Amino acid sequence: GDSVTQMEGPVTLSEEAFLTINCTYTATGYPSLFWYVQYPGEGLQLLLKATKADDKGSNKGFEATYRKETTSFHLEKGSVQVSDSAVYFCALSGALNAGKSTFGDGTTLTVKP
Amino acid sequence: DTEVTQTPKHLVMGMTNKKSLKCEQHMGHRAMYWYKQKAKKPPELMFVYSYEKLSINESVPSRFSPECPNSSLLNLHLHALQPEDSALYLCASSQLGLAGANSYNEQFFGPGTRLTVL
């Protein structure tokens, strides 16, 4: 079945540091890929998405590129802020699994001033 | 309106109580979902409704009973819960794409109901 593997956390960075959170997947066919963010006490919010190979999703300074050859969708940000502290989930959705998304285990990011 | 709302925000119930969680969206989405999320874990899918019909039940115990009265509303009826059912319950909605399309299933989540079973 489909699966998503995320880099283990927690990750602690200083403000303005560079962020990478690795995400790799296995799936049948050509899934859509997503990064969701969950701030403390809240639900999940879609951060960015990519629906086909070589697509780059971007939002709020975050970027991720759909790499089919390496089955990866790594999340990057050039300069993190304290307000980026949250849990980040990589997820996929395949056309063959209508209604089901597969989530990674989540990576907790803490940014210190 | 790009919001999914959930009520109540917090709920404390005993093991003999009956309660309901409510979810509403006005984005015209025809797929709605219930997830259970334990602390520091990803959401676990419970149920999916497509066009107001139950399309996925992830072997959820019968003490959880979903209902979709119309395309905007989703309920989760709770009865005889156990303390281990304490969790954050998240509702989500999404568009349904054409057969074979990959660009659907971007899910919009509500803020969740924090449930405590005593």
pLDDT (tens digit per residue) in B80-99 = 999 999 999 999 998 876 55
For residue A30, give how far its alpha carbon lies from the nearest alpha carbon of chain B (Å): 7
Question: Has residue B6 got a pLDDT over 70?
Answer: yes
The beta-carbon neighbor of A32 closest among B6, B92, B102 is B102
Rounded to an integer, what distance in angstroms lies between the CA atom of residue A24 and that of residue A43?
Answer: 23
Query: Where does the pLDDT of residue A113 fall: very low under 50, low under 70, confident under 90, or very high at 90 and above?
Result: very high
Q: Are A48 and A32 spatial neighbours (Cβ–Cβ below 8 Å)?
A: no
Better-scored residue on pLDDT, B82 or A94: B82
Rounded to an integer, what distance in angstroms lies between the CA atom of residue B53 and that of residue B67?
Answer: 9
| Average confidence score pLDDT of chain A | 92
| pLDDT average, residue stretch A1-30 | 92
**Which residues of A fall within a CB distance of 8 Å from B24?**
none
Rounded to an integer, what distance in angstroms lies between the CA atom of residue B3 and that of residue A102?
Answer: 22
**Which residues of B fall within a CB distance of 8 Å from A100?**
45, 48, 56
Q: Is A28 on the interface with B (CB under 8 A)?
A: no
Q: Is A51 on the interface with B (CB under 8 A)?
A: yes
**Phi, psi for B68 (deg, rounded to 5):** -125, 90
Three-state DSSP state, B68 = strand
Burial of B34 (0-12, 13-18, 19+ CB in 10 A): buried
Question: Tens digits of per-residue pLDDT, A29-73?
Answer: 788 899 999 998 889 999 999 988 999 999 999 999 999 999 999
Helices (H) and strands (E) in chain A, counts: 0, 12
Say what the pLDDT of residue A41 is. 85
Q: Is A31 on the interface with B (CB under 8 A)?
A: yes
Contact: A106, B42; criterion CB under 8 Å: yes
Contact: A104, B103; criterion CB under 8 Å: no
Question: Has residue B103 got a pLDDT over 50?
Answer: no
Query: Where does the pLDDT of residue A9 fall: very low under 50, low under 70, confident under 90, or very high at 90 and above?
Result: confident
Question: Has residue B104 got a pLDDT over 60?
Answer: no
Say what the pLDDT of residue A99 is. 63
Contact: A98, B96; criterion CB under 8 Å: yes
Q: In the 8-state DSSP scheme, what is residue A111?
A: E
Query: Which residue of chain B comes nearest to A6, CA vs CA?
Result: B42
| Average confidence score pLDDT of chain B | 90
Question: Has residue B8 got a pLDDT over 70?
Answer: yes
Tokens of A85: 């502290």
Other beta carbons within 10 angstroms of residue B66's beta carbon come to: 20
Tokens of B76: 């989760």
Other beta carbons within 10 angstroms of residue B28's beta carbon come to: 10
The beta-carbon neighbor of A101 closest among B96, B107, B110 is B107
| pLDDT average, residue stretch B25-33 | 91
Chosen from A44, A47, A49, A105 to mutate, greatest number of chain B CBs within 10 A: A44
| Percentage of the residues of chain B whose pLDDT score is greater than 90 | 73
